[in-house]
Amino acid sequence: MKLASLVLAMSIATSAFALDPNYPMAKSKSSIEGQGTYHFGPETSENLACSLAEERAKEAAILKKVGEIVELMEIQTCRNENCETSREFANTLTGAIRKIISRKIEKIIEQGQSSCIVTIQAEVDKVRNQTVFYIQNESFQFKNNENIQFVGVANRKGKVIVFHQSDTVYTKFYETTVNKVGSQFKIPNNGKKIIAKLPEGKDLSKERLMFLFLEVDIPVKQVYTHNEIQKFVENVPVLQRRVVYHSTQIVR
Distance CA(43)–CA(190), nearest Å, equals: 37
Summary mean pLDDT of the chain: 77
| 179 has a pLDDT exceeding 50 | yes
Residue 13 binned pLDDT confidence (cut-offs 50, 70, 90): very low
- Whether pLDDT at 177 is above 90: yes
Measured between alpha carbons, how far is 45 from 50 in angstroms, rounded to an integer? 9
2.40.50.220, 2.40.10.340, 2.40.50.100, 2.60.40.2550: which CATH number matches 32-251? 2.60.40.2550
Of 86-90, 206-210, 242-246, the poorest mean pLDDT is in 86-90
For the chain, the structural domain boundaries read 32-251
For residue 101, CA distances in Å to 28, 39, 156, 189 come to 8, 25, 33, 48
Instruction: Report pLDDT for 173.
Output: 94
Residue 233 pLDDT > 80: yes
The rounded distance, in Å, linking the Cα atoms of 90 and 135 is 10
Residues across the chain:
252
Does residue 62 surpass a pLDDT of 90? no
**pLDDT score of 70:** 47
- Report yes or no: 122 and 13 within 8 Å, Cβ to Cβ: no
Q: Identify the residue with better confidence: 41 or 192.
A: 192
